[in-house]
């Protein structure tokens, strides 16, 4: 047994390189919460989580006051046991984003440590289904962009090897959404995939009105058309649509995905490894989806998700939104394919000098066995 002897946590605030808007919000910053764990053998693991601009201090507080002290002295190899213990020690605050995002920072650190100690990269440690995955890009499809700008980015992406682009929808009228999507389809042709994302912005009627347009343009999927807690609405919509409904970035437990799948309310799941609570629950969702012949196409966090989508057989895409370039080496890619890292652990090459320079003042703290 290699017991956990200390934990450090801190937060870095990263500004997006481009303006990012969708039908309900803007991505103002990425509060990136880090956890570094050490065990009695001297092994170290570093994990992280994130918000899109709000809630980072609350996550740090939960880590400091509750989760990290409870972690001290536990066997770092027992990742499943730790995840369940931490979840249920504060069960009255779960299921929800703050708890899940805090759990994810710990869980990813434990998986990083496990990979380092075994000498295995994450995609092998978690399954080893493949070594690369096609990417689609979201970075040029934000809602505020004009049809001409959407086309320009999609053409450049296709020339760079990407096989698809995501275009945000949820404009005030169907005609405006149609204009944006038709511009990209007409310019790129039928062999280029177009994904759409409404970001939970629509009523059932508004989403239904867009189905003929999405079907005619052969759209790859209709993402988050309705509020995430409207399972029945998604089920009705999916039953009426030949375009797959995709959900998951706004869901925070494996049980929520099980409910969607049981009610035939989606045909693609998009579990976000941070928002669901880490690698441990993410793999549960991936295998649940596989058992129902459903694809998993995770949301954001490409530098971490590249290893997870390469670990499982039912993950056909990786979403390309670069966000860690200020603090880590670029993700390896060949044209439009992302390559799974081969270094042990998470495989993210952090720039520790830049992390130190960008750490939010007052956010860093350490927990040791003395805090048990």
Q: What are phi and psi of 115, to 5 degrees?
A: -65, -40
95 contacts: CB under 8 Å, gap ≥ 6: 252, 253, 255, 256
Q: From the candidates 117, 158, 168, 305, which is the catalytic residue?
A: 168
Q: Which uninterrupted H or E stretch holds 315?
A: none
Residue the block writes with tokens 């993700």: 331
CA distance 233 to 354: 45
Here the tokens at position 206 are 């508004």
Q: What is the DSSP string of 272-312?
A: -TTTTTSHHHHHHHHHHHHHTT-EE---S-HHHHHHHHHHS
Residue the block writes with tokens 């970035």: 249
CA distance 186 to 83: 48
Angle, alpha carbons 168-171-175 (nearest 5°): 105
Is 234 a catalytic site residue?
Answer: no
Adjacent-strand bridge partners of 196: 167, 222
Is the peptide bond prior to 275 cis by the omega test (within 30 degrees of 0)? no
Q: From the candidates 166, 234, 299, 305, which is the catalytic residue?
A: 299
Is 208 a catalytic site residue?
Answer: no
CA distance 51 to 27: 9
* DSSP H helical ranges for the chain: 56-62, 68-71, 79-89, 97-118, 122-125, 147-159, 174-188, 204-216, 231-240, 254-262, 279-291, 302-311, 352-358
Catalytic sites, residue numbers: 168, 299
């Amino acid at each position: 047994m290699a017991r956990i002897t200390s934990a450090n946590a801190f937060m870095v605030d990263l500004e997006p390189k481009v303006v990012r808007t969708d039908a309900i919000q803007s991505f103002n910053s990425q509060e990136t919460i880090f956890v570094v764990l050490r065990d009695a053998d001297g092994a170290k693991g570093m994990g992280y989580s994130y918000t899109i601009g709000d809630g980072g201090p609350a996550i740090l507080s939960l880590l400091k006051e509750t989760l990290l002290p409870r972690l001290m002295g536990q066997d770092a190899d027992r990742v499943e046991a730790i995840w369940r213990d931490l979840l249920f020690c504060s069960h009255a605050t779960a299921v929800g984003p703050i708890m899940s995002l805090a759990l994810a920072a710990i869980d990813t650190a434990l998986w990083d440590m496990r990979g380092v100690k075994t000498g295995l990269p994450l995609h092998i440690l978690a399954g080893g289904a493949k070594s690369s995955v096609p990417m689609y890009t979201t970075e040029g499809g934000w809602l505020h962009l004009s049809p001409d700008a959407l086309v320009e980015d999609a053409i450049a992406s296709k020339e760079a090897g990407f096989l698809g682009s995501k275009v945000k929808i949820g404009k005030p009228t169907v005609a405006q959404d149609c204009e944006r999507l038709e511009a990209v389809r007409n310019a790129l042709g039928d062999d280029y995939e177009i994904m759409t994302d409404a970001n939970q912005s629509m009523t059932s009627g508004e989403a239904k009105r867009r189905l003929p347009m999405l079907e005619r343009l052969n759209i790859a999927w209709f993402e988050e058309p309705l509020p995430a807690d409207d399972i029945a609405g998604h089920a009705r919509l999916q039953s009426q649509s030949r375009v797959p409904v995709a959900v998951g970035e706004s869901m925070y437990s494996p049980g929520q995905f099980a409910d969607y799948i049981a009610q035939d309310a989606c045909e693609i799941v998009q579990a976000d490894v941070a928002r669901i609570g880490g690698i441990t629950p993410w793999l549960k969702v991936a295998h649940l989806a596989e058992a129902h012949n459903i694809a998993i196409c995770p949301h954001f966090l490409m530098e971490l998700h590249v290893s997870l989508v390469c670990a499982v057989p039912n993950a056909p895409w990786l979403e390309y939104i670069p966000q860690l370039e200020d603090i880590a080496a670029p993700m390896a890619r060949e044209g439009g394919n992302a390559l799974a890292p081969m270094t042990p652990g998470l495989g993210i090459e952090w720039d520790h000098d830049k992390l130190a320079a960008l750490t939010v003042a007052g956010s860093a703290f350490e927990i040791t066995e003395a805090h048990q």
